[in-house]
């Protein structure tokens, strides 16, 4: 085994896996606890009008509410409902897409307070446009649900009958039992997938993919040539690197705010799918089956990219 890999086993494999396992365990427990207390229909009230229009279930509404706090807990609720036959495959995909607004707000503080000092007013445009894309995705889910899901008469449209009360102690015990049954399956898939992706990243597969996308982007000829540097940095390194380049070009008046925002949006479209596979897939396979995890991430990224492309085109022509 490579000596360098041996030195990285603890900090880059064991510790991250332990951290992931901890968060997934907490997420599983929270999801089970909420369900055991019969809170799902109460949480669904927050988005009941959208659920009614889209014919999504109360579990989807509860997952949406929980997603503002924990993406792991939210996905766990969906996986549990799907495994129990409480939602169809179509609804599972729509529910996963429906949670894009909570995911946006989870990352909003970091994104905004990183962009604002560097690109000033451009931060409001960038954050606003990515939020518009999230809203557009939610609208698409509502429309698709209206046409693809059957009419339902559950807590999304009607008041639920009273359910038997359960104490917190009973809910805790029940949740712990269900957690013990599921956590083994979670780790069985998550650990090998994480190690595989660590090795693929270690030996440069993702770096080569990102570099290929950045250098072969002939379809970006409409962008200001100077803004391509922002796109390349966004794709090949990190979002903050692209922002740093944008800050310099703005300060030198080499690019306008609009050109910077367009470059950041393009970088977002190109970089996110690879990073989603790299970072999301390991924990998704701990919650869903490997095949389902790939499908959910794939559909999510395609729809997300489409929505950002649409708002980018609108910004390009209308502003």
Q: Using one digit for the tens of pLDDT, what is the confidence trace for 88-136?
A: 999 999 999 999 988 888 777 777 877 888 788 998 999 999 999 999 9
φ/ψ of residue 154, rounded to 5: -130, -155
Q: Is 71 or 264 the better-scoring residue by pLDDT?
A: 264
Q: Cα-atom radius of gyration of the chain, to the nearest Å? A: 21
Q: List Cα–Cα distances, 211 to 35, 206, 301, in angstroms.
A: 45, 8, 19
- Rounded to 5 degrees, what angle do the CA atoms 96, 235, 120 make? 90
- Global pTM reads 0.74
Instruction: Tell me what the pLDDT averaged over the chain comes to.
Output: 79
What Å distances lie between residue 74 and 24, 96, 135, 261, 295, CA to CA?
A: 11, 9, 19, 31, 17
**37-64: b (≥16 Cβ within 10 Å) or e:** beebbbbbeebeebbbebbbbbbbbbbb
Residue 248 CA, distance from chain mean position = 30
**Torsion-angle region of residue 185: left (phi > 0), alpha (psi -120 to 50) or beta?**
alpha
For position 156, what pLDDT does the model report?
45
Question: d(Cα 145, Cα 141) in Å, to the nearest integer?
Answer: 6
> Which residues have C-beta within 8 Å of that of residue 140, sequence separation ≥ 6?
97, 303, 307
Residue 224 scores a pLDDT above 60: yes
The pLDDT of residue 21:
76
pLDDT of residue 155: 43
Q: Which residue has tokens 């603890």?
A: 10
| Residue 46: pLDDT over 50 | yes
* Structure tokens given for 296: 């959910």
Write the pLDDT tens digit of every residue in 269-319: 888 777 777 778 887 888 888 899 999 999 999 999 999 999 999 999 987
First to last CA, the chain: 55
For residue 257, what are its two tokens? 């705010």
Q: Please say if the pLDDT value at position 154 is more than 70.
A: no
Tokens of 164: 């038997």
Q: Cα torsion at 291, 294, 297, 300 (round to 10°)? A: -70
């Amino acid at each position: 085994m490579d000596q360098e890999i041996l030195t990285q086993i603890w900090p880059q494999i064991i510790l991250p896996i332990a951290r992931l396992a901890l968060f997934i365990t907490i997420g599983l427990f929270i999801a089970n606890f909420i369900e055991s207390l019969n809170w799902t229909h109460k949480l669904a009230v927050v988005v009941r009008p959208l659920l009614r229009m889209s014919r999504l279930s109360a579990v989807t509404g509860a997952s949406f509410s929980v997603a503002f706090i924990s993406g792991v807990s939210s996905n766990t609720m969906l996986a549990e409902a799907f495994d129990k036959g409480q939602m169809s495959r179509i609804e599972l995909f729509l529910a996963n897409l429906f949670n894009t607004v909570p995911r946006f707000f989870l990352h909003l503080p970091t994104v905004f307070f990183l962009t604002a000092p560097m690109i000033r007013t451009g931060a409001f445009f960038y954050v606003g446009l990515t939020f518009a894309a999230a809203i557009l995705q939610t609208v698409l889910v509502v429309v698709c649900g209206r046409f693809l899901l059957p009419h339902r008469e559950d807590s999304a449209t009607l008041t639920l009958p009273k359910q038997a009360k359960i104490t917190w102690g009973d809910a805790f015990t029940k949740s712990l039992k269900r957690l013990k049954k599921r956590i083994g399956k979670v780790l069985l898939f998550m650990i090998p997938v994480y190690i595989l992706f660590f090795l693929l990243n270690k030996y440069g597969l993702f770096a080569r993919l990102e570099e290929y996308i950045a250098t072969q982007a002939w379809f970006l000829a409409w962008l200001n040539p100077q803004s391509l540097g922002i796109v390349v940095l966004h794709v090949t390194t990190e979002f903050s690197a692209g922002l740093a380049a944008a800050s310099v070009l703005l300060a030198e008046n080499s690019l306008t705010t609009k050109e910077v925002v367009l470059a950041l949006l393009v970088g977002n479209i190109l970089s996110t799918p690879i990073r989603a596979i790299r970072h999301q897939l390991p924990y998704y396979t701990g919650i869903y089956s490997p095949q389902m995890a790939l499908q959910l991430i794939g559909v999510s990224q395609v729809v997300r990219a489409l929505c950002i492309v649409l708002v980018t085109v609108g910004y390009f022509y209308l502003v």
